[in-house]
Structure 1
Amino acid sequence: MQEEHPSRFARKFLRWICPEELREEIEGDLVQRYYRDVKRIGERNATRKLVWSALKFFRPGILLRNKFTFQLINTMMLRNYLIIAFRNVAKNKVFSAINVFGLGIGLAACLLIFQFVTFELSYDKFHDKYDRIYRVTNDRFQNGKLIQHGTITYPTIGPTMAKDYAEIEIYTRLMPSGAFNARVNDEYFQDDQSLMVDEHFFSVFSFPLLAGERLSALKDGHTVVITEDLARKYFNLTRSNIVDALGKEIYWGSDKQPYKVTGVCANVPDNSHLQFDALVSYRTLIGEGNNDADVSWKWSDFRHYIVLKPGADYQSLESKFPVFSERYFKGDKVSGSVEKFYLQPLSRAHLYSDYEYDIARTASGKSVWAMLVIAIFILVIAWINYINLTTSRALDRAKEVGLRKVMGAMKSQLVGQFIFESALISCLAFVAAILCVQACQFTFNDIVGHQLSLWHVLSELNSSGIFIFIGVMLGGILLSGFYPAFMLSSYQPVSVLKGKFQRSSSGHYLRKALVIFQFTASATLITGTLIVSKQLRFMNTADLGMNINDIMIVDGPELMAWDSTFVERVENFKYELVHTNGIASAATSSRLPGDRLGRGFDFRISNQPTESHYTTSFLGADYHFFDTYGISVITGRKFVVTDHKVNFDDITVAVINQNAVKLFGFANAEEAVGQEIIDGNRKWTIIGVVNDFHQESLKKPMEPIVFLPTYSTYGPTSIRIADARKDELIPVVETIYKKFFPGNAFRYSFIEDRYYAQYMDEKRFARIISIFTGLGIIISCLGLVGLSSYTAVQRTKEIGIRKALGASLLNIITLLSSDFMKLVAVAILLSVPIAYFSMDSWLRNYPYRISLQWFLFMVPMLVVFMIAAFTVSFQVLKTARVNPANTLKYEGLCGIVNRCT
């Protein structure tokens, strides 16, 4: 009965697929084959073969005439692919786990770094005029030398450029005004940061205003715009009633006149290069008798941003600035230096800012792009592992491929099957990566210092970014799946079923190249990690020229009025401190180690030609400063009590450092003592020379400094205390502070923490690169496991013969490991020039840096070689310990061996 009546599906399929004019002839031939196959392989398999046999007879156009048939075939194929893929995963649990684990780690590392890089590249893009906003930068030259490369310039620059050049649509100018220490209803609030900005600020930048008018909020003097957080803190308001903050009064510092709240803006996003809690109207600065803040061509403490009109070319405008400088500065006649102005696109303000006095939140663009390269390396290494691990099972899948081909499977179907398996493994790995990212997110955020989220980053991507992200992921899946798929599907069924498996030389070389790439990348990353760590350790342990250990910092009494009693009050405060058990000394200064010092641009020496102008930093310090910080005097003397004057114009003496001696052209320190420094109408006699010290981090060169004996209400106090008694002395210092400066908040820190915070970017980069280097090594070793496993399986019979002939385990391990170790050695050698040139470029950013010595490259080479040797030896050992009888008995080789022995 079965021969006379094919299955219902087979009859239905033939009626649908066969054209009317060919049905009788072709249907008869197909049915006869179907009957034979039913007897031989069963009805289900015969029906499947009937489908594929029919496909060979008809053009694709005929098939597409019947959508049901096409969908049915596709459904059968996908169902079959899915079943086989899951069976292979379940059957080879260890292999599948390694594949998923390796790909998962690579994807997780890539996604974490992707968050960081995307965030760093997103700075300021929320502004509507983002692509038309530029900030004005300024280079200053004296005596033919660059003396300042900064973002600060004169208050007249923005308005004058907007007047002179039609390309400029609008401008805004601002000045940092430090901590916004506010008093609201007799309650004090400290440490909020503020900027003084003009009325154009909200026309240039798109910070959302929750309450108030954007165009007029900062138009009048003594007005302030606060953030939503400050509205909550000061007035206990929520967003629903935030408008109630308008019109309220705030007292700032020691100012007797209140500031009126005229606006509330949303909290500043983390990805803004400008950060603030309060915006004070610029008109306030001008209205308090500082008309120079509006018209001065010499007062250099202001930042300017301009918006170009649509279609305007900023480089074309920038080319006109030399004429602008000559017109208003007349060489160095006006400001004492030759001024050159440039425009920096807002898109570069965060990552490409090497400017002095920059108030922007900045990061290293090189470090960010280096992280992206590391992410790509790790992801490529993970994909390479999949290729190696998949091809290592070639022998296991060869017979499966041979049987499939004998049963009528086409190469395209086999390729589809293996691509589908690759996609399944990749999907499982992606799920594992998402779980890993979620588990590590908190720790990663702590390292990078930002509250990142994968979902937030993806939601912020535009359509092109999403397309690129998905394209990279899909491209990786396809590329990592294509090679194994084509290699496995190319086996000849006759050869593999007879047990004659022939290796491809091209595939052999490709696998070697992939391993070399993996370990070149790993060795380069290890070298980079070692060099970054050593440079960071060098900067943290270098001799600074001063002693910053065990020094407690107490912020200045900003709310105290500057009067004739202030100096006496400060001196009494210090006197009581130094007479407290456990405190060695105390000093006040205008700035602290680690702070950027102010500069004077028109210093002259009394006995030198009047056309000689010098630029040097200056620091106000009391007569205990040099002793407290252990700064040694080379010649002359330090300040004494009588050098200090309440009136700044009465000060007549100064101390300079060795760099200033060189700058002013003195032959030696002794010659400098007694000379007069002139700045405008003021003169100071040099009474001493001190040694150079690193006022800022080792990322910047030491500078010439002029020290003046001054006090300030904003000047912090440095207190040297016994290390063992830090916790015990803090409340004692607080009691003394409040005794002399009632009403001022007691805020303290330790100078070591403040000083070494300058290396935060380097510390973060070192931690990130070390973590992901470790992951890269783990993934590379997994790939080596795959390749060594592949080779061991290929040479199983050879191992059995050698063991039967008396070879030891050590002989076999050495034999099979040597090829891999040669690849690792090649990779290590290739990594040296790559690591050298990349790290040499990175170190050039530091004026004080380590030298690239040979052991910095030798240590990573040995580490990589040892890790690779252990990985390969362990994998080969498992195969080498197999009883040779088990590998030879089915091949008829045991008898040959016995006869030979």
Structure 2
Amino acid sequence: MLKNYLKIAWRNLTKNKAYTLINVGGLALGMAVTLIIGLWIQDELTHDKNFANKAKFAQVFQSQTFNNNTGTGPAIPLPLAPALRNGFNDNFKYLIMSSWTNDSYLKYEETYLSRPGNYMQREAPELLGLEVLKGEKDGLREVNSIMLSESTADALFGDINPIGKTVRISNEHDMMVSAVYKDMPYNSSFRDLKYIMPWTHYVNTNEWIENSLDNWGNNSFQLFVQIAENTTMESVTNAILNIKKDANEDTAEFNPRIFLLPMDDWYLRNNFENGKQVGGRIKYVWLFGIIGAFVLLLACINFMNLSTARSEKRAKEVGIRKSIGSQRRQLINQFLSESFLVVLFAYLMAISIVLLCLNGFNELARKEIEFPWSNPGFWLVSLLFIAFTALLAGSYPALYLSSFKPVDVLKGTFKAGKYAGLPRKILVVLQFTVSVAFIIGTVIVMQQINHAKNRPIGYDKEGLIQVPTFSQDFEGKTDLMREQFINSGAAVEMATSSSPTTRIWSNRSGFTWEGKPEGFQEDLAWTEVSPEYAKTLNLKIVQGRDFSRDMATDSLGVLINETAVKYLGLENPIGQLLRDSDEEDPNPPLKIIGVVEDMIAQSPYEPVKQGLYVYDRHFNFSYYNLRLNPNQSANQNLAVIERVFKENFPAIPFEYDFVDEEYAEKFAAEQRIGTLSGIFTALAILISCLGLFGLTSFVAEQRTKEIGVRKVLGASVFNVWNMLSKDFLKLVTVSCFIAVPIAYYIMNGWLQEYPYRVILKWWIFALAMLGAMGVTILTVSFQAIKAARSNPIKSLRTE
């Protein structure tokens, strides 16, 4: 029986090639989009899947309150780890202190490169579940040891066995390779962990870390944990919540709260607002899941519409089959088998589309998704997906077509009925409601991105590069390098800074000043700079003056931004002193000599943070900032700068970043979401238009004789076009008026997440409506004009 169903289904499909092409093509596009989105969602949901202990793995986070605003992050003080070991050791299997992931220069013989990595405590390889390929897993036992990832070892040593070899780190320390471990997967939180060095070495070689052993106020470290088997994240968090407040009175005023953030939440739910977890990338998982479901629904609607539109052509077939004994159940099975065959062909075509597009999609989405050929779970889900789609697409046509009465059909008195076309109209309205909502959403996302991009950033990012200086070799050479870079003609100015231009690495508190409100808890961004910093970045001085090398007192001077003036409540900031409130070991007071225009160093969607730019008298810099010569090409300037750099630092690789590119990265996530949404929206519109094209074709075919009569009686091409088009335009207009309030509600809610956001304007919605109508007119017009221009003699000669 099934064989007969499939045979008849195949004949019907091959008999109506245009109809089949539209149906299969539309379904294939919808299924391809759903497949790609499904693979993307699966990759998002399985982030960090390589960790067998994922359910027990967590990072220690901290919330602190400044002036009723609570900030949350993973930065913790050094004494926290021993306090947890001493008081709560039974709750943990591992407690691993870690530095932040930073680049270091690695050198072996004549090969040197820059790679990111961490200093971590001895049990880190066990906690991370590292797969050691060479050497020993306890590779951090010796204080001068280093563990390398496989890719780093290959880049440094090639075919040589690296175990026991010595690697020079930042031209300062010699470390012996104790192990080589397999690189972490791309969708892992530790994918940038290209080396690990012992925590004890980090402490022994940095005096500031030794000074932080009992300092609860220096939040400069990370702490990763694995909780014990007999505990839960919630119970451990409840136990340790107030440990910092109880252990240290000096920080109690900030109401510090210590808690565990499970690994499951690191990637998808890592956003906090006023101390509360408010989601994160999980919103994009939901967004694309909804888009995938709706795009598939649009494709299924096409199938339903085209199948029911052809009902009169199938009416005689249904009547004859019923008259010779076919039951309704058999007819339903017949039409569902046709649906299954169409969906199967569409799925095979969809897989081909996915394979063709996957590399481009990976590049756009910054993923390394592979097609899961060998995953039996994927094929099981695919089978269920095919069956579900076939039922979804074929259920209504099967039930509708099998309900025809054979007597009416065979007598020729069968009529579809006054409301027979109502379901099709509802489905068309649903299709274009979704499409118009997608258009509005995509336009608003891109508007928000452009709104932030066009925001004044307070400095000139064009022609500005930053060169990392993570080595003691750079100490004492700042003035020499500045002179050489400028004299080379490749740079017009150079300055150093303790943070990159596009980020804030340090925050300070504990200051007093004249007029400070009682109980005020300040939180200030802190950047140490050389005197030429404002000049190099083209920062605008709005009050006072810039640093001057000719004035010795400027070594205790400070520039503040406009936000800091308001934040500190200073009416006349120039000359004001910021004093250290630490009575036991006070630093000299800082004198405000100038106010600079606000400069965006964090998120362009957030307000500018109050900041201090302090004269770097301790040479605590991490970057050279160079303003390139605008009268020469960038390539020419960089070649000269590299030559000068290598003359002075031959053992250090020359690396640089264009500040404008670094700044553009701040928009990368939203830009990718906007671009992907735009692509999926275009495909949704295309699928909707395919269905509209098919419906117009069948309407024109059904009304062939009517069109012929009208033309004989003098109807113009425009009259016929208007007759065939107006119904569809009415449906799309209804769709627009349904889509607009829905899109407004959703997108307005999305924009509330951004303090600096675009204002929704009426023209966005009007443009989407006009666009939908324009696309409808173009789609319908092709068939309408073709029918209007046809020869009426051909359609009437049988009468």
| Paired position in structure 2 for 1:61 | none
State the shift of 1:419 in Å.
Answer: 1.2
State the shift of 1:450 in Å.
Answer: 1.8
| 3-state SS of paired residue (1:473) | helix
| Paired position in structure 2 for 1:231 | 153
Change (3 A) 1:756 1:144: same
| 3-state SS of paired residue (2:623) | coil
The answer to whether the aligner puts 1:219 opposite 2:141 as a matched pair is yes
- Match for residue 167 of structure 2 among 228, 250, 263: 250
| Paired position in structure 1 for 2:511 | 603
TM-score, length-scaled by structure 2: 0.92
State the shift of 1:733 in Å.
Answer: 1.7
| 3-state SS of paired residue (2:219) | coil
| Paired position in structure 2 for 1:87 | 11
Moved more, 636-645 or 370-379: 636-645
| Paired position in structure 1 for 2:481 | 573
Q: How many residues align?
A: 784
For the aligned residues, what is the CA RMSD? 2.7
Contact 1:151 1:355 in 2 (8 A): no
Q: How does 1:484-495 map to 2 (within 5 A)?
A: 484-495=397-408
The answer to whether the aligner puts 1:397 opposite 2:314 as a matched pair is yes
- Match for residue 188 of structure 1 among 99, 112, 118: 112
| Paired position in structure 2 for 1:855 | 763
State the shift of 1:867 in Å.
Answer: 0.6
For residue 385 of structure 2, what is the amino acid of its counterpart? V
The answer to whether the aligner puts 1:674 opposite 2:573 as a matched pair is no
Change (3 A) 1:251 1:740: closer
| Paired position in structure 2 for 1:525 | 438
Q: How does 1:364-403 map to 2 (within 5 A)?
A: 364-403=281-320
State the shift of 1:633 in Å.
Answer: 1.3
State the shift of 1:886 in Å.
Answer: 4.4
For residue 304 of structure 1, what is the amino acid of its counterpart? L
Moved more, 87-96 or 605-614: 605-614
For residue 527 of structure 2, what is the amino acid of its counterpart? L
Contact 2:601 2:608 in 1 (8 A): yes
- Match for residue 270 of structure 1 among 155, 177, 186: 186
The answer to whether the aligner puts 1:309 opposite 2:228 as a matched pair is yes
| Paired position in structure 2 for 1:547 | 460
| Paired position in structure 2 for 1:700 | 606
Partner Cα separation in structure 1 for residue 656 and residue 93 of structure 2: 45
Contact 2:170 2:652 in 1 (8 A): no
| Paired position in structure 2 for 1:500 | 413
Q: How does 1:417-566 map to 2 (within 5 A)?
A: 417-455=334-372, 459=375, 463=377, 470-503=383-416, 507-556=420-469, 558=471, 560=473, 562=475, 566=476
Q: Deviations over 1:273-298 (max 9, x none)?
A: 12310111112123335435554422
For residue 577 of structure 2, what is the amino acid of its counterpart? Q
The answer to whether the aligner puts 1:653 opposite 2:557 as a matched pair is yes
Q: Deviations over 1:83-128 (max 9, x none)?
A: 2222222221111111111111111111112221211111112211
For residue 512 of structure 1, what is the amino acid of its counterpart? K
Moved more, 835-844 or 541-550: 835-844
Contact 2:503 2:602 in 1 (8 A): yes
Partner Cα separation in structure 1 for residue 316 and residue 290 of structure 2: 40
Contact 1:329 1:339 in 2 (8 A): no
For residue 502 of structure 1, what is the amino acid of its counterpart? K
Contact 1:631 1:691 in 2 (8 A): yes
Contact 2:465 2:626 in 1 (8 A): yes
Partner Cα separation in structure 2 for residue 616 and residue 210 of structure 1: 46
| Paired position in structure 2 for 1:54 | none
The answer to whether the aligner puts 1:171 opposite 2:95 as a matched pair is yes
- Match for residue 673 of structure 2 among 748, 765, 789: 765
- Match for residue 684 of structure 1 among 590, 594, 600: 590
| Paired position in structure 2 for 1:69 | none
Q: How does 1:120-139 map to 2 (within 5 A)?
A: 120-139=44-63
| Paired position in structure 1 for 2:276 | none
Partner Cα separation in structure 1 for residue 197 and residue 552 of structure 2: 34
The answer to whether the aligner puts 1:406 opposite 2:323 as a matched pair is yes
| 3-state SS of paired residue (1:706) | strand
| Paired position in structure 2 for 1:201 | 124
TM-score, length-scaled by structure 1: 0.82
State the shift of 1:742 in Å.
Answer: 3.6
- Match for residue 638 of structure 1 among 516, 538, 546: 546
Segments of structure 1 that go 5 or more residues without pairing to the other structure are 1-76, 239-243, 357-361, 893-901
Contact 1:677 1:686 in 2 (8 A): no
Change (3 A) 1:697 1:177: closer
The answer to whether the aligner puts 1:663 opposite 2:586 as a matched pair is no
For residue 360 of structure 2, what is the amino acid of its counterpart? T
State the shift of 1:230 in Å.
Answer: 1.4
Q: Deviations over 1:196-219 (max 9, x none)?
A: 1112323333232223444x3223
| 3-state SS of paired residue (2:595) | strand
For residue 116 of structure 2, what is the amino acid of its counterpart? Q
| Paired position in structure 2 for 1:18 | none
Partner Cα separation in structure 2 for residue 186 and residue 809 of structure 1: 79
- Match for residue 627 of structure 1 among 520, 527, 535: 535
| 3-state SS of paired residue (1:546) | coil
State the shift of 1:812 in Å.
Answer: 3.0
Contact 2:58 2:261 in 1 (8 A): yes
Contact 1:392 1:786 in 2 (8 A): no
Q: Share of identical aligned residues, percent?
A: 28
Partner Cα separation in structure 1 for residue 126 and residue 509 of structure 2: 33
Partner Cα separation in structure 2 for residue 213 and residue 742 of structure 1: 33
| 3-state SS of paired residue (1:207) | coil
Moved more, 728-737 or 165-174: 165-174
- Match for residue 826 of structure 1 among 715, 734, 741: 734
Change (3 A) 1:163 1:396: farther
Q: Deviations over 1:152-179 (max 9, x none)?
A: 1112334433543444343222111511
Partner Cα separation in structure 2 for residue 426 and residue 759 of structure 1: 39
Q: Deviations over 1:655-683 (max 9, x none)?
A: 211222222221x2x34423233264112
